[in-house]
Amino acid sequence: MTSEESNVAILKAAYSRWHETKGGSIEHWLGLLDDNVNFGSLAEGMRPLDFTRHRNAKSEVEDYLRSLIGQFDMIHYTIDEYVAQNDRIVAIGSTAWRNKATGKVVETPKIDLFKMKNGKIVEFFEMYDTARVLAACEPECG
C-alpha cells in the first residue's frame, strides 16, 4: 500500500466513524493529529463562530471540536471523493448540522484539505458555505 493509499484509508475510517457517531469520535480525531497541527477554517473565527479561529496545537483543536458539538447536532457528514497526491489529501463531500440554539438546519458542500506526515495530520483546512452556517446561527425574525 502506498503512503497515499494509507493516508486515504486513515481518513476514510475517521470520517466513517465521525458520521456514524454524529460527532462522538473526537478522541479518534485527536489521535490522528500531530501535536503541532496547523488547523484552519474558512470562517476564521467570525462571530458567532468564534470557535473556528485558527489553531496551532492538538489541544486547541480539541476545543474547536468540543465547541462545534456543543453548538450543533450533526445530521450527516458525507465524503464522496478523496483526491491524494504525495502527502496531500482532499476530501470532497457535504455535511448538515442543526444549530442547538436556533433549531435551524444548515446543509453545505464541504471540502477538507489535509497534509499528512508519518500517518499524522500536520495541516488541515476546511471550506464550506459560511453564509449558510451563519444564517443557521441567526434567530428567526418576527
**Does residue 142 surpass a pLDDT of 80?**
no
pTM: 0.93
Residues 90-138: tens digit of each pLDDT: 999 999 999 999 999 999 999 999 999 999 999 999 999 999 999 999 8
Structure confidence at residue 141 (pLDDT): 56
Separation in Å, CA 81 to CA 11, 52, 84, 112, 127: 11, 24, 10, 11, 15
Q: What angle do CA 57, 62, 64 make, to 5 degrees?
A: 95
Residues 32-75: tens digit of each pLDDT: 999 999 999 999 988 888 898 999 999 999 999 999 999 999 99
Q: What domains, with CATH codes, occur in the chain?
A: 3-137 (3.10.450.50)
Can you say how many angstroms the Cα of residue 18 is from the centroid of all Cα atoms in its chain? 9
